[in-house]
Amino acid sequence: MCGTLSRFVGGKRSACKCMTLRTFTIFWLTIFTLVSLFELVAGSYLTSARQMVDTILEKLREIAFNAGTESVADYYYEVLQASFGTVWRAGTCLTVMRGLVDLGGAAVGIYGVWAKKSWALYTFLGFNVVHFAIDFILFIAAMSVVNTLYIGWFYPSAYLVVFALYGWLAIIGPYVSVVLLSYIWVVRVGGTGTEMKSFFELQEEQDKAATATAERSGAKDRDEEATARVEASEKKPLLENAEPTIEVDSP
């Protein structure tokens, strides 16, 4: 069962049935780097989103005013405004920090592809797995916030914003991780990722080549041993038929 699971998890020979493992890894490195750079400058986008939420709060306060509950409206408006201010400031800092960390992961991944270092590629894969897990959690949390605070009721496009920020990364994360792991395993056995062959196929070819080399080496040793025996058998009669040498003492 473990063998079957490993073939499914790290046994890809291509990506999307049209790209080599190396090409896909380089493509994803480019996407990962661009996302990291986007996260570094995401503060302005968060500020724009906060302005949208402030507009929603103003509308809610107007509704409360029209209902004749001015004091309650002012109280909840101030509480929500302060809460959202804290959330947005923390979100901006965390997003920028995440961009810096992800940019470091992208640099390690680029080095791994260039130098074919397994440890660097495994590190890049680890960054991606953590990245996808965080995106999945943030996607669920953000959708809940948009739904609970009725932001989606005022601005239905808010759901698309959440999906653009976190949803698509959470959805394609497992497939990307499988392809990256397949590429790492191919590099481990000396492949380049352009062969359109999986780790298991390359390993089987190497085992067959090693067996054939061992058989050729064994056959060569047997031939040399047989040749040595033939030469020894040819020299033996000559030694037996050779005339003995008589030494004559000088007077």
Q: Which residue has the tokens 């890809």?
A: 12
- Residue 233 is predicted with a pLDDT of 64
State yes or no: pLDDT of 241 exceeds 60.
no
6-15, 70-79, 215-224, 228-237 — which one is most confidently predicted on average? 6-15
2 pLDDT tier (thresholds 50, 70, 90): very low
The stretch 169-198 carries a mean pLDDT of 87
Which is nearest to 135 in space by CA: 110, 103, 98? 98
Neighbouring residues of 154: CB distance < 8 A, sequence distance ≥ 6: 56, 59
Q: Give residue for tokens 């040498």.
A: 245
Residue 45 phi, psi dihedral angles, 5° rounding: -70, -40
Q: Full-prediction pTM beyond 0.85?
A: no
Which of 129-138, 198-207, 224-233 tops mean pLDDT? 129-138
Confidence label for 111 from pLDDT (cuts 50, 70 and 90): very high
Quick one: pLDDT band at residue 250, thresholds 50, 70, 90? very low
pLDDT at 242 over 60: no
Mean pLDDT of the chain: 74
Provide the CA 189 distance to its chain's centre, in angstroms: 18
Kindly tell me if the per-residue pLDDT of 1 is higher than 50: no
Q: Could you report the per-residue pLDDT of 12-45, keeping only the tens digit for each?
A: 778 888 889 999 999 999 999 998 888 777 655 6
For range 91-97, the mean pLDDT: 70
Residue of higher predicted confidence among 195 and 215: 195
Amino acid in position 158: A
Q: Where are the domains of the chain?
A: 9-196, 198-232
Residue 87: Cβ within 10 Å count = 14
More confident residue, 90 or 250: 90
| Structure confidence at residue 149 (pLDDT) | 65
Instruction: Give yes or no for a contact between 173 and 128, defined as CB atoms under 8 angstroms apart.
Output: yes
Mean pLDDT of 100-113: 90
CA distance linking residue 139 with residue 235, whole number of Å: 87
pLDDT band for position 71 (cuts 50, 70, 90): low
pLDDT, one tens digit per residue, over 199-210 is 788 878 777 877
Percent of the chain with pLDDT over 90: 14
The stretch 221-241 carries a mean pLDDT of 60
